[in-house]
Structure 1
Amino acid sequence: MSIDWDRLRIFHVVAEAGSFTHAGERLGMSQSAVSRQVSSLEEGLGLKLFIRHARGLVMTEVGEQLFKTAHRMAWELQSVEAQMSETRDQPTGPLLVTTTVGFGSTWLTSRIDEFLERYPTIQLEIKLNDSELDLAMREADVAIRLHRPNQSELIQRKLFTVHFHFYASSAYLEQHGIPKSVDDIDNHKIITFGNPSPAYLGDVNYLETIGRPENNPRIPALRVNAIYGMMQACREGIGIAMLPDYITEDESSLVRILDTVEMPEFETYFVYPPALKNSKRVGVFRDFLVSKARGWEF
């Protein structure tokens, strides 16, 4: 059994696109030509790679295994091409960055325009996902993680410590008053993270338990399974929320309360695989993040 590498490339695009039509648009080929190439690959392997139905394509188990291999190969080839381009002084090529939805849609995207202006030949893509993408499997090039990485082989650089604080809107405090102590929280509405909460956010639902008996937590007025959604609800005056600094730095409508209470915190890291240790794209992006992180904590 042998694999035609050009057909494997076409299969990889089809698997990503989810249909022969969309894959054909990306490849500059007709839908029928793409379908024939995949069918020829299946015949050569003696295996079905897709289940075909009216609404699109679903990979078989064998197809999924082959896709993972083809995806790694495509990433490696893209990486080699980029490194060859980077023999010049200017960092060049694609850079896929992953981080959480809350952090990426606030702290990161509010600063990224400067990086894009400084390095116009880097094709930056930011993939926001609260589930961690696997760098070893080439699901992304680099990551900003809101905890110390578990994989010891990854290169890591601490960026800063994220602190939590209690917040409420001015309108809410005008109507319900300002809590003066932890015990006063019992008389207020609270907003917390929906269950299960991400491990990287630590004790994100501290408002439910602080100052309460172990088996008698506060019942929130609202649970939201996204930090950004919690902030929006807090802004609208629904109640008090515990929010990380990176999502509130530009929120003038929110008032920080109970400042003397000791709060949870967590560290944030920039991580990437050893294979990209000498990549100029990764190096300049790392240095950019470090420069923006320096002195940011508050």
Structure 2
Amino acid sequence: MDWDKLRIFHAVADAGSLTHAGDSLHLSQSAVSRQIRALEESLNTTLFHRHARGLILTEQGELLFEATRAMNKRLEAAAARIRDSEEEVFGELKVTTTLAFGTLWLAPRLTKLYERYPDLKIDLMLEERVLDLPMREADVAIRMKEPSQADLIRKKLMGIRIGLYASRAYLDRSPPIATVADIAHHRVITQGPSSPQVTAGASLAQQLLGHEPQSLLTINNYFGVLQATLSDLGVGVIPDYITEDFPSLVRVLPDVESVEVPVFLAYPEELRQSKRVTAFRDFVQEEVIAHRRRIRDAA
């Protein structure tokens, strides 16, 4: 099978348009169309349904696109390994983690990493969905549980716990909180039951709701829970890795907290020798050690 025709097919399938694919390939629309027709003739099948709004893959086209997509991922991985044979740390690194951890813990610390490696380009993808590292949807993942995918190198970074916090202004104007039963006189701010979250956080929230709080505010991510808590709205259910950077928050009922939640860094086995991955991994580990030291010194 002609590799060049497969490359053109992949671009057309990805763009859904002969014109857009031609632009990305620096080819005319007619040249792209000829290559697609030739590929269809060689396979004796139709790869696209053509209509006024663009192109839609046929069932056979979907099968071929799945294959070219996998090939493209493998080629990207090979290119990354070749580039990583250089001594300098440079190029793109795709990092995925949760919205809260990426926004509130990782992103504020990246200044130090860029100062050390100014030619590094980080694509930070913040979402709760677990991306497929072996298929190179991302190069590195930081997650709140041990990854289950095969062929991954895993490193436990730290353990976190989810507890109760409130602003001083809220506590000053509200009834005292001496026991968990006193939550009945307060507003609880937590992630909603349908929001993606670790089991430990959901269990703690359910425990609090069992005491029938006076009011409830649910938000679908911890960034929102933090902002509402800082705005004096109530008692927030927040992971402890967030609160270090917000000293105005007051810990409420220190004995009421979740079980430990492990935080793992993972990357594909094939990137073991990647200098970009190594540089990022070492940087995050240094920041975790500094984070633990500050918590210990503040205790």
Q: TM-score surpassing 0.5?
A: yes
Pairwise CA distance, 1:71: 2.5
Pairwise CA distance, 1:67: 3.1
Measure, in 2, the Cα distance between the counterparts of 1:61 and 1:197.
35
1:229 aligned onto 2:227: no
What residue is the counterpart of 2:135 in the other structure?
137
Gaps in structure 2 of 5+ consecutive residues: none
Q: 1:204 aligns with which of 191, 195, 202?
A: 202
Amino acid at match of 1:172: Y
More displaced stretch, 57-66 vs 172-181:
57-66
What residue is the counterpart of 1:169 in the other structure?
167
SS at match of 1:290: helix
Pairwise CA distance, 1:242: 0.7
Pairwise CA distance, 1:34: 4.4
1:291 aligned onto 2:289: no
Q: 1:218 to 1:94 in 2, by over 3 A?
A: same
Amino acid at match of 2:77: S
Residue deviations 1:118-137 (CA, integer Å, cap 9, x gap): 22343321222201011122
Amino acid at match of 1:113: T
Residue deviations 1:8-56 (CA, integer Å, cap 9, x gap): 2233334444544544443334556545544544454344445555665
TM-score under structure 2 length normalisation: 0.83
Residue deviations 1:154-182 (CA, integer Å, cap 9, x gap): 21011111222212233432332342221
Residues 1-298 of structure 1 mapped to structure 2, 5 A cutoff: 2=1, 4-30=2-28, 33-34=31-32, 37-51=35-49, 58-198=56-196, 200=198, 202-204=200-202, 206-210=204-208, 212=210, 221-297=216-292, 298=295
Measure, in 2, the Cα distance between the counterparts of 1:109 and 1:218.
34
Measure, in 2, the Cα distance between the counterparts of 1:123 and 1:92.
7
SS at match of 1:83: helix
Q: Is the Cα–Cα contact under 8 Å of residues 164 and 238 in structure 2 kept in the other structure?
A: yes
Gaps in structure 1 of 5+ consecutive residues: none
Measure, in 2, the Cα distance between the counterparts of 1:57 and 1:178.
64
Measure, in 2, the Cα distance between the counterparts of 1:120 and 1:40.
46
Measure, in 1, the Cα distance between the counterparts of 2:225 and 2:91.
37
Measure, in 2, the Cα distance between the counterparts of 1:51 and 1:102.
42
Q: Is the Cα–Cα contact under 8 Å of residues 140 and 266 in structure 2 kept in the other structure?
A: yes
Measure, in 1, the Cα distance between the counterparts of 2:147 and 2:4.
37
Measure, in 2, the Cα distance between the counterparts of 1:219 and 1:15.
54
SS at match of 1:260: strand
Measure, in 1, the Cα distance between the counterparts of 2:56 and 2:176.
55
Measure, in 1, the Cα distance between the counterparts of 2:248 and 2:50.
52
SS at match of 2:201: coil
More displaced stretch, 139-148 vs 239-248:
239-248
More displaced stretch, 174-183 vs 13-22:
13-22
Sequence identity (%):
44
Q: Is the Cα–Cα contact under 8 Å of residues 14 and 20 in structure 1 kept in the other structure?
A: yes
Measure, in 2, the Cα distance between the counterparts of 1:222 and 1:116.
38
SS at match of 1:97: strand
Alpha carbon RMSD of aligned pairs, Å?
2.9
Amino acid at match of 1:192: T
Q: Is the Cα–Cα contact under 8 Å of residues 187 and 213 in structure 2 kept in the other structure?
A: no
Whose helix proportion is higher, 1 or 2? Answer: 2
Q: Is the Cα–Cα contact under 8 Å of residues 189 and 220 in structure 1 kept in the other structure?
A: yes
Residue deviations 1:175-196 (CA, integer Å, cap 9, x gap): 3234222111011111222233
Q: Is the Cα–Cα contact under 8 Å of residues 82 and 94 in structure 1 kept in the other structure?
A: no
Measure, in 2, the Cα distance between the counterparts of 1:181 and 1:226.
26
TM-score under structure 1 length normalisation: 0.83
Amino acid at match of 2:84: E
